[in-house]
Structure 1
Amino acid sequence: MYQNILFDNTNGVVRISLNRPEVHHALNAELLLEITEAVKAAEVDPAVRVVVLTAEGNKAFCSGADLKESVGAGKSAGELLRTRYNPLILALRNIPKPVICRLNGLAVGAGVSLVLACDVVIASEDVYLSQLFVQIGLMPDAGSAFFLPRLLGPARSFELASTGRKVSAKEAVQIGLINRAVPEAELDTAVDDMIRYYRNAPTKAIGTMKLVFNQSYHSNLEEMLELEAVNQEILSKTADFAEGTMAFLQKRKPDYQGK
């Protein structure tokens, strides 16, 4: 079905692995489309509770745009962003399920944008991230110009974008760019622990939380208070809320079904 990614859907967990190792998983039109399709497949499958985005091997997560294709595609940069990159970033942000990035190799350029579009990022300590756009005379795109200032503030985000310097995984944690950095040998254990948590968590509550937090970027306090009230009303009628309440009263661990 897929030529540029590996796709696995097992026990409520979808794993999407970039699979163009010969070019360090550079993003071409086909790869972008396949990741987008895989995320959307995970969204509509009610059995899926969590999505993991990673890459094959351990040298690179994503080296950014495939410049060979970009130069010869016959499409403008704006058209490529609108038709291939932007739909993927929106799919990652709008899926009402948690997306974990297993950052197992370097991420540069638009590869960093993929990382930042995920909900939780767990990295190997020996990887780095770089907003490499400036080195070819471009600005950050595919969402980086949105995510960076919100995560880091204007001064630090401008510094990273305008210099394109390498940011180690440890520094990325310290400045709030990603969530965790662990030794390479512990990466799978750390990711599996997070998967296990989300696979057994109240999925609708977490998905709603994600979408409401997205909206907070564009809303004032009054709008957010109403959005909280509307969505809390919806969640209070879910099976997971009933189960969570009963488990609390019975002093036992809840058995959430994501419903």
Structure 2
Amino acid sequence: MTTVLVERHPGWLSITLNRPERLNSLNDEMHAALRAALTEAREDSSCRAVLLTGSGRGFCAGQDLSERLRAPDAAAPDLGHTVETFYNPLIRQLRSLPKPIVCAVNGVAAGAGVNIALACDIVIAGKGARFVLSFAKLGLIPDSGGTYHLPRLVGEARARGLALLGEPLSAETAADWGLIWKTVEDENLHEEAFSLAKHLSEQPTFGLGQIKSALNASSHNTLDQQLDLERDLMRRAGQTDDYAEGVAAFIEKRKPHFSGLG
């Protein structure tokens, strides 16, 4: 069975993790397929937004631990190699994609599954979803950017509690804490996610990519550096046809028709 399903829609791409019998836990094959789908989204000029979700009753349970079982006399696995080879490139690819990524969390997101969701741009979850930073219960640390994104999203105190205790966090609490954008009724999740991806695919894509670049840089820039970056990105955005179209549509009181091009 294909571990990642890719479906084309007018202007956007849906990517579905597809190992429902394993709660969409990640193995090497799924990593390769997911990264290939994201590369396709980057290189396809007709794709202006991405929706990432999971099939079945969960979004992603993180690493498939059945692939980490070892005989008593075998050498310990090099998990640093796994992180460097698979997870770090995936998170970098998600964060640097110059197109908005919507993540729809259905059911459980655990371990790296949480942090993959947090690397996306807008996360919505069904009210029955749960987020579980389960690393501590295995003697591990949150990888896939977890120690980076968590304190920035929810503050250090809550990040420490989530990481050290590994207790499930409800979707509604996740939204209240600012971990995700919002929750919706479970039965409406995919309809809401599709609508959001479609909306983003009709917006000024180049400008949205510039917003992503600016927000990504803000975590390490000084205020002066960020002001200079805003100036430079604004200069480039102001030269696009989409900016001209947005102004014209505003003045003419009509819906804009953006090309998405830079």
Name whichever of 124-133 and 193-202 sits farther off. Answer: 193-202
- In the aligned structure 1, how far is the partner of 2:85 from the partner of 2:219? 24
Matched, 1:24 2:23: yes
Q: Tell me what 2:61 maps to.
A: 63
Q: What's the secondary structure of 2:45's corresponding residue?
A: coil
1:207-236 residue CA offsets vs partner (Å, 9 max, x unmatched): 110111001101001111111111111111
- In the aligned structure 2, how far is the partner of 1:45 from the partner of 1:60? 28
Name whichever of 27-36 and 150-159 sits farther off. Answer: 27-36
- In the aligned structure 2, how far is the partner of 1:54 from the partner of 1:248? 34
Task: Say whether the 8 Å CA contact 2:12–2:198 is kept in structure 1.
Answer: no
Name whichever of 196-205 and 80-89 sits farther off. Answer: 196-205
Q: Structure 2 vs 1, CA of residues 156 and 25 (structure 1 numbering), >3 Å: closer, same or farther?
A: same
Q: 1:86, CA displacement in angstroms?
A: 0.6
Q: What's the secondary structure of 1:27's corresponding residue?
A: coil
Q: 1:3, CA displacement in angstroms?
A: 2.9
- Scaled by the length of structure 2, what TM-score is found? 0.94
- Scaled by the length of structure 1, what TM-score is found? 0.96
Unaligned runs of 5+ in 2: none
Q: Tell me what 1:149 maps to.
A: 151
Q: Tell me what 1:112 maps to.
A: 114
1:51-88 residue CA offsets vs partner (Å, 9 max, x unmatched): 0000112x111111111223459851001000101111
Q: 1:163, CA displacement in angstroms?
A: 0.2
Unaligned runs of 5+ in 1: none
1:153-176 residue CA offsets vs partner (Å, 9 max, x unmatched): 111100011000000001100001
2:165 corresponds to which letter in structure 1? Answer: T
Which contiguous aligned blocks of 4+ residues in structure 1 show a shift greater than 6 angstroms? none
Q: What's the secondary structure of 1:53's corresponding residue?
A: strand
Aligned residues: percent identity? 39
Question: Counterparts of 1:79-118 in structure 2 under 5 Å?
Answer: 79-118=81-120
Give the count of matched residue pairs: 257
Task: Say whether the 8 Å CA contact 1:33–1:88 is kept in structure 2.
Answer: no
Task: Say whether the 8 Å CA contact 2:51–2:194 is kept in structure 1.
Answer: no
Q: Tell me what 2:185 maps to.
A: 183
